[in-house]
Chains A and B, each alone.
Chain A
Amino acid sequence: MFMIFGIPGPLLFGQLLLGLINGAFYAMLSLGLAVIFGMLNIINFAHGALFMMGAFVSWMLLTYVGIGYFPSLILAPLIVGIFGLLLEKTIISRLYKLDHLYGLLLTFGLALVIEGLFRNAYGSSGMPYRIPSVLQGATNLGFMYMPNYRGWVVLVAVVVCLATWAIIEKTSLGATLRAATENAPLVQAFGVDVPRLITLTYAGGVALAAFAGVLAAPIYSVNPNMGTNFINTVFAVVVIGGMGSIMGSIVTGFALGVIEGLTKVFYPQASATVVFLVMVIVLLTRPRGLFGKAA
C-alpha cells in the first residue's frame, strides 16, 4: 500500500471523494443563497430551515400519501417553493427598502419559527427515510466502498448547479433577471414585471434548498435541526466565493467540501473550523471573495 503524507493512499482518495459529496450539498445550498442575494439583496438566513422543510416534505409525502423518492425530487421543491413564494409576497417584500440587516434578522426569526414548529410536531430525534431501492447498495472502486446513492447525489448536484448557472448566465430570462438587479426602474420601464420576477427568483432559490433537502433525507436523519448544521458553513462558502457570484458559489462549494474532507484525516477536531479559516484568509486578501466582481 503506498502512502501520502503518512496516510494510506486509498484512504486519501476516499476522503477526496467524500469531500466532493459534501461539497455537492454546500454548492447547491450556497447557489440558492447566491441567487437570492444577487437578485433580492436579502441575506436569507431561513435557507437552512427551508432545506430541512424539503427533507420533511418528502418524508411526509412518503408517510402520509405514499409518494416515493423520485416524484418527491420534483414535488417537494415545488411545495416548498410555493411556501417561499408566499413568504416573499407577504413578509419579505416589505423589507426591500430597508437595510440588509433587517432582512437578515427577519429571515433568522423565520428560521427559528419554522424549526420550532417542526420540532414541536415531530420531536428532535428525526425520522427514518430509506434510500430508494434502485440506488441501494455500493460499488467497490478499489480504493473505497462507494455507496451508489452518494454517487447519485454528486451527479445530480453537478447537473442542477450547471443548469442553474446556464439559466442565469445564458438565457434571455437570465439576462432580464440580471438587468433587473442592475437597474430595476429601467427594466420596469421596458414593461417587465420586476416585483413578480423577484418573487419567482426567491421561490426558485428556496426550491433549490428544498431539492438539496430531498437529496439529504436518506443520508442524514430527517430532523428539524438538520439545516442549522449546514447553514453557517454555507454562508462562509458564499462569502468566500464572492457574494452573489453564481459560478463562485458552485466552485467554492465543491472546493471547500474537499478541503474539509482532507482536514478530517489530518486533524479532525479542526474540520468544522477550517472553512472559516479559509474565509478569514480570503477576506484579508480578496475582500470581495474569490469570484466577486470589483466594485
Chain B
Amino acid sequence: MRLSRRALLAASTVAVAAQPALRARAQAAQTIRIGCLTDMSGPYKDLAGPGAVAAANQAVEEFGAAGKGLKVEVLVADHLNKPDVGTTIARQWFDRDGVDVLVEVANSGVALAVAGVAKEKNKVYLNSGAATSDLTAAACNANTIHWAYDTYMLAKSTGGAMVKAGGDSWFFVTADYAFGKALQRDTTSFVTAENGKVVGSVTYPFPGTSDFSSYLLQAQSSGAKVLGLANAGTDTINTIKQAKEFGLKMQLAGLLLFITDVHSLGLDVAQGIALTDSFYWDMNDRARAFSNRFSPRAGGARPTMVQAGVYSSTLHYLKTVMDMGPAEARKDGAATVARMKAIPTDDDCFGPGSIRIDGRKIHPSYLWEVKTPAESKGAWDYYKPVATTPADQAFRPLDKGGCPLVKA
C-alpha cells in the first residue's frame, strides 16, 4: 500500500487534534487538585508544614467530598523558603499536574511571588501562612485570598492594646528584612496613634543571629516599658529565652508568636508575654471540637492559626466548588474567587465571617497573654484572653490599602 504525503499529513493532524480531546475527557472526571505549598523542612515547619497538610486533608474529609461525587486530591511540596523554588513548583502544578488551588505558603517572599503565578494562570491561591499585608494592598489580585492574619492585624491588636494597658514607651528588636521592618513600621503607627512613643530600636542581621543579649541590654538601658519583638520563629524564641535569662524588667510583646513557639519555650519562660492570634484551639466549643479532631492527625500537637486557616480556606473553597459546579470552578480561577467572596464563610475555626473585595478574609483578632505554669492545666493550655478586636476593625480599612480591585 502506498501512502500519499497528504494522507500522512492528515493522519498526524488528527492525532494531534485528538490529544486535547483526550485531555478534556480526563478533566470531565472532575478531580479537584489542591496543592499545599509549605515549609516542610525549615524554620516554619512546625507552625505550618506537615500540620498544614493534615489540616487540608481534614477539610477534604470533613467536607465529605467523596459522598458528594467530587474527587479531591491533596498534593504537597516544600518551597524551601525560596521564591524561585516556590514559583517553579506552582507553575509545574498548574501546567502539568492540573492543580486548581494553592493553599498555605508560609513566608512572605514566596507568597508574593506565587500570587503572581496564580493570577497569570488564572487559578486560585488561598494564603494562610504568610504575614505581609501587601498581599491585599498594592500586590492584591483577583485570584488571591489572604486568610488567617496579616502584619496590620498583629500590629493593631498587640500595639494598640498594650499602649492602652499602660505600655506607652517601646523599644524594638527587629529582624533586618522586609517582614521585620514592616512589622515595626505598622506597630509604631499604632503606638504613636495611642500617644505612646518609641524610644529606640535595634535592627539585627537576619538570618544568622542567635545571641540577642547585647540588644536586650540596649533595650534595658533605654528605659522603655515594652520590648516589641519584630521577628519570628527561632529568633523570637531565642530573644525571649535570653530576656528571661538576663532578668529583663520589660513587658514583652510578641508581634508574631505562634502557639508552637510557646510550646517550644515552655511556660516558665514564656509566661506573661502578650501576643495576637486570630485562632486559639481552646477559645470556644467549635474551636475545641476542631482541635480535638485535628490533634490525632498531627502527632498530638494543637493547631496554629496558620493550620486553622488552611482548614478553613480549603473548606470554603470546596463549598464554593460544589455551589458553582466543579467544571465551572476549574475553568476560571478568578470567577471561583469572586464566588468565594460572595458566599459568607462559616467554620469551626473562625466562626462566621466574610471575604472582602481586596481578598482579605475578615474575622475578629484576639490579644492573649501566656499563662503562668500555675494557671495552666496541662500541655497546650497556654493562653488567657485579654482583648478582642471585632471583625470590622481587625484589619486595614478597605480604602487604605491601595488595592486596584477596590473601586473608589
A229 touches B46 (CB 8 A): no
Contact B213 A124 (CB under 8 A): no
What distance in Å separates the Cβ of A192 from its nearest Cβ neighbour in chain B? 41
With A125-B260, A271-B205 known as contacts, the answer to whether A219 contacts B241 (CB < 8 A) is yes
With A and B bound together, what is the CA distance between A10 and B220 in angstroms? 12
A220 CB to closest chain B CB (Å) equals 5
Q: How far is the CA of A19 from the CA of B210 in the complex (A)?
A: 13
How many chain-A residues does the 8 Å CB contact rule pick out?
44
Is B376 at the interface (CB under 8 A from chain A)? no
- B269 CB within 8 Å of chain A: yes
B residues 242-280 with Cβ under 8 Å of A? 242, 245-247, 260-261, 263-266, 268-269
**B265 lies within 8 A of A128 (CB):** yes
Q: Is A18 an interface residue (CB 8 A)?
A: yes
State the Cβ distance, A131 to closest chain B Cβ, in Å. Answer: 7
Contact of B210 (CB < 8 Å), options: A21, A229, A264: A229
A226 touches B260 (CB 8 A): no
**Once bound together, how far apart are the Cα atoms of A13 and B42, in whole Å?**
36
Tell whether, in the assembled complex, residue A221 and residue B217 are in contact, meaning their CB atoms are under 8 Å apart. Answer: no
In contact, A126 and B264 (Cβ under 8 angstroms): yes
Given A131-B245, A230-B210, A11 contacting B205 (CB threshold 8 A): no
Given contacts A145-B247, A221-B234, A265-B214, whether A11 and B204 have CB atoms under 8 Å apart is: no
Task: Enumerate the 7 nearest inter-chain pairs by beta-carbon distance, A residue then B residue, closest first.
Answer: A272-B205, A264-B214, A128-B266, A125-B264, A124-B45, A125-B46, A229-B210
Q: Does A15 contact B217, Cβ atoms closer than 8 Å?
A: yes
CB-based nearest B residue for A146:
B246
18 extra A-B contacts, CB within 8 A, seeds A125-B233, A150-B213, A264-B215 = A15-B214, A116-B41, A123-B46, A124-B44, A124-B45, A124-B233, A128-B269, A131-B245, A138-B246, A144-B217, A150-B245, A219-B211, A221-B238, A225-B234, A229-B209, A269-B205, A271-B204, A272-B205
Shortest distance between the CB of A286 and any CB in chain B (Å): 26
Q: How far is the CA of A221 from the CA of B261 in the complex (A)?
A: 11
Complex alpha-carbon distance, A226 and B210, angstroms:
8
Whether the Cβ atoms of B246 and A229 lie closer than 8 Å is no
B176 on the A face (CB < 8 A): yes
Q: What is the CA–CA distance of A173 and B263 in the complex, to the nearest angstrom? A: 48
A14 at the interface (CB under 8 A from B): yes
| Docked complex Cα distance between A138 and B247 (Å) | 8
- Is A232 close to B, CB under 8 A? yes
A22 CB within 8 Å of chain B: yes
Q: Which residue of A lies closest to B267 (CB)?
A: A128
Quick one: given A223-B234, A268-B204, A272-B208, are A18 and B213 in contact (CB under 8 Å)? yes
Known A-B contacts A15-B217, A219-B245, A269-B203; the reply to A126 vs B42 at CB < 8 A is no
Q: Does A149 contact B (CB under 8 A)?
A: yes
B 77-103 contacts with A by CB, 8 A = none
Task: Give the residue of A21, A116, A125 whose beta carbon is less than 8 angstroms from that of B47.
Answer: A125
Contact call A220/B241, Cβ cutoff below 8 A: yes
B27 interface hit (Cβ, 8 Å)? no
Could you list 17 A-B pairs, sorted by A, with CB under 8 Å? A18-B211, A18-B213, A22-B211, A120-B41, A123-B46, A124-B41, A124-B43, A124-B233, A128-B266, A138-B246, A221-B237, A221-B241, A221-B265, A264-B218, A268-B215, A269-B176, A269-B205
Contacts of A269 in B (CB 8 A): 176, 203-205
Bound complex: CA A127 to CA B265 (Å): 7
Interface presence of A77 (CB below 8 A): no
Determine the chain B residues whose CB is within 8 A of the CB of A144 once the complex forms: 217
Which of A11, A126, A127, A150 contacts B218 (CB under 8 A)?
A11
Which B positions have Cβ atoms within 8 angstroms of A?
Answer: 41-47, 176, 202-205, 207-211, 213-215, 217-218, 220-221, 233-234, 237-238, 241-242, 245-247, 260-261, 263-266, 268-269
The residue that B237 contacts in the complex, of A10, A125, A271, with Cβ under 8 A, is: A125
Per the bound structure, the CA–CA distance linking A163 and B45 in Å amounts to 41
- Give A97-132 interface residues, CB cut-off 8 Å to B: 116, 119-120, 123-128, 130-131
Minimal beta-carbon separation of A291 from chain B (angstroms): 25
Known: A128-B269, A147-B245, A221-B238. A14 touches B217 (CB 8 A): yes
Complex alpha-carbon distance, A116 and B40, angstroms = 11
Is A261 on the interface with B (CB-CB < 8 A)? yes
Q: Which residues of chain A in 262-284 are interfacial with respect to chain B, using CB atoms and an 8 Å cutoff? A: 264-265, 268-273
CB distance from B19 to the nearest CB of A (A): 41
Q: Which of B47, B205, B261 has the most CB of A within 10 A?
A: B205
Contact partner of B41 (CB less than 8 A), chosen from A119, A150, A230, A271, is: A119
A202-248, CB < 8 A from B? 219-221, 223, 225-226, 229-230, 232
A195 beta carbon closer than 8 Å to chain B: no
- CB <8 Å contact, B233 and A220: no
Is A68 positioned at the interface, with any CB of B under 8 Å from its CB? Answer: no
Chain A minimum-CB-distance residue to B42: A124
Q: Shortest beta-carbon distance, A121 to chain B, in Å? A: 11
Evaluate contact between A232 and B208: CB separation under 8 angstroms: yes
- The answer to whether B241 touches A124, judged by C-beta atoms less than 8 angstroms apart, is no
Most buried by A among B203, B217, B237, B268: B217
Q: Which residues of A contact B43 (CB under 8 A)?
A: 124-125, 225
> A192 vs B175: C-alpha distance in the bound complex, in angstroms?
54
Q: Which residues of A contact B208 (CB under 8 A)?
A: 229, 232, 272
The CA-CA distance from A264 to B204 in the complex, in Å, is 8
Q: Write the nearest CB–CB distance from B232 to chain A, whole angstroms.
A: 11
CA separation between A124 and B232, bound complex, in Å? 13
Name A125's contact: one of B234, B242, B247 (CB within 8 Å): B234
- Asked if A8 is an interface residue, CB under 8 A from chain B, the answer is yes
Query: Which residues on A sit within 8 Å (CB–CB) of B176?
Result: 269
Produce 1/0 per residue, A130-144, CB < 8 A to B: 110000001000001
- In contact, A127 and B241 (Cβ under 8 angstroms): no
Q: Tell me, in angstroms, the Cα distance from A147 to B211 when the chains sit together.
A: 14
A144–B245 CA distance with the chains assembled, in angstroms: 13
